Amino acid sequence: MAEEIAQNEQKNPYLPFGDRQDAPFYGKDILSVKQFTRQDLEYIFGVAHEMREMVQRVGSFDLLKGKILANLFYEPSTRTSSSFTSAMERLGGSLIPINEVHYSSVAKGESLPDTVRTLECYADVIVLRHPEVGASELAARYANKPIINAGDGIGEHPTQALLDLFTIYEELGDPDGLVITMLGDLKYGRTVHSLARLLSLYDVQINYVSPDILKIPEGIFAEVEEKGVPQTENSTLEPVLQDTDVLYVTRVQKERFEDPSDYDSVKSAFIITSDSLSIAKDKMIILHPLPRVGEISMEVDDDPRAAYFRQMEYGLYVRMALLAMVLGKS
């Protein structure tokens, strides 16, 4: 943790004209949700809310004109990469998209430290998705420009957790007092790992529902417990659904399984249908980081509680806020 904080000290001593050196996240990396306090989150969501209003009012504006984002994705992505692209472009900045590392020098065997040191010659901020846990921390150690972790293997996905929590704020208000139920692949789902940690800053209750082989990692359970947040582990949804305010559904992460027969044994463990929601609260919201692969039946999409498409839109505003903040414009 101390090491992480040290790495997150302001990096770039050369302040371009117009940048606010006193902006709280100026020049910082976003590597893990562990780096945030509740006060930080309120600040980020305040900026995200302003971004939402600006986009709704004017669409795009030139806050980051002249700034360049490098989107470096070593794993597939639709929402994360395109929302960062859209965020940068709506703020008047531009983009170096490296979505297919097979066509970059990575395919020639270039190391991650060398790739990020190359990209930072051309870009002001780097968004990185990588299959290995800790990859963004490694990149941040070598880069002088801010690194934003867009998912490091089964580790973390901090910007997703921020947008998940922003969705909760915008849809239900302050999370204090809420019951959050996380369902699906809690072992390999990095979004769950980040969200559980982030929620531990609030006065919430967390229920985990998963097949036995996909339980929340013990280390994360212990971290959340240490913060005094009540948690339960369950193998079925029914007993906890009635009291749930936020149902967070995840897909089973096929690509993380060593043994395909293990995947087959759990791939259809939970399927949310309109029927299964009949006992849920009227004001509950259903979130999903997406993509879904069958765990929420399409008939649920028309239920007003299905918030997963709205959640994607909130992601744009959070990512606009983060880019503006690390580049010293907010």
* Interactions with ligand NCD, residue window 126-155 (CB under 6 A): 151
> How much is the CA Rg of the chain, to the nearest whole Å?
19
DSSP assignment, residue 106? Answer: G
Q: Enumerate residues 6+ apart whose C-beta is below 8 A from 10.
A: 26, 27, 28
Closest separation in Å from C-beta 3 to ligand NCD? 24
191 lies in the binding site for ligand NCD (CB under 6 A)? yes
**Which residue's CB is nearer to ligand NCD, number 319 or number 329?**
319
288 lies in the binding site for ligand NCD (CB under 6 A)? no
Closest separation in Å from C-beta 295 to ligand NCD? 10
Closest separation in Å from C-beta 253 to ligand NCD? 6
DSSP structure string for 142-196 = H-SS-EEEEEETTS--HHHHHHHHHHHHHHH---TT-EEEEES-TTT-HHHHHHH
Closest separation in Å from C-beta 67 to ligand NCD? 23
In this structure, how many other beta carbons lie within 10 angstroms of the beta carbon of residue 243? 13
Which residue spans within 184-302 are E strands per DSSP? Answer: 205-209, 231-234, 246-249, 285-287
In this structure, how many other beta carbons lie within 10 angstroms of the beta carbon of residue 127? 30
**Which residue's CB is nearer to ligand NCD, number 26 or number 74?**
74
Closest separation in Å from C-beta 307 to ligand NCD? 14
Binding string, 16-55, against ligand NCD, x = CB under 6 A? ----------------------------------------
CA angle 245, 78, 49 (to 5 degrees): 50
CA angle 46, 139, 196 (to 5 degrees): 45
With CB under 6 A as the contact rule, the residue among 155, 158, 175, 289 that binds ligand NCD is 289
Closest separation in Å from C-beta 228 to ligand NCD? 27
Binding string, 57-86, against ligand NCD, x = CB under 6 A? ----------------------xx------
* Interactions with ligand NCD, residue window 224-253 (CB under 6 A): 251, 253
256 lies in the binding site for ligand NCD (CB under 6 A)? no
310 lies in the binding site for ligand NCD (CB under 6 A)? no
Which residue spans within 7-48 are E strands per DSSP? Answer: none
Closest separation in Å from C-beta 121 to ligand NCD? 27
Closest separation in Å from C-beta 299 to ligand NCD? 21
With CB under 6 A as the contact rule, the residue among 115, 160, 181, 244 that binds ligand NCD is 160
**Which residue's CB is nearer to ligand NCD, number 35 or number 253?**
253
| Environment class of 196 (CB within 10 Å of its CB; exposed 0-12, middle 13-18, buried 19+) | buried
Number of residues interacting with ligand NCD: please give it, by CB under 6 A: 11
**Which residue's CB is nearer to ligand NCD, number 52 or number 292?**
292
3-state secondary structure 60-77: CCCCCCCCEEEEEECCCC
Contact 75, 155 (CB under 8 A): no
Closest separation in Å from C-beta 171 to ligand NCD? 18
**Residue length, the chain?**
330
> Sheet of 231-234: strands edge to edge?
231-234, 205-209, 179-183, 246-249, 285-287
CA angle 280, 284, 285 (to 5 degrees): 125
Residue 95 bridge partners (DSSP): 69
Q: Which spans of this chain sit near ligand NCD (rule: CB under 6 A)?
A: 79-80, 151, 157, 160, 190-191, 251, 253, 289-290
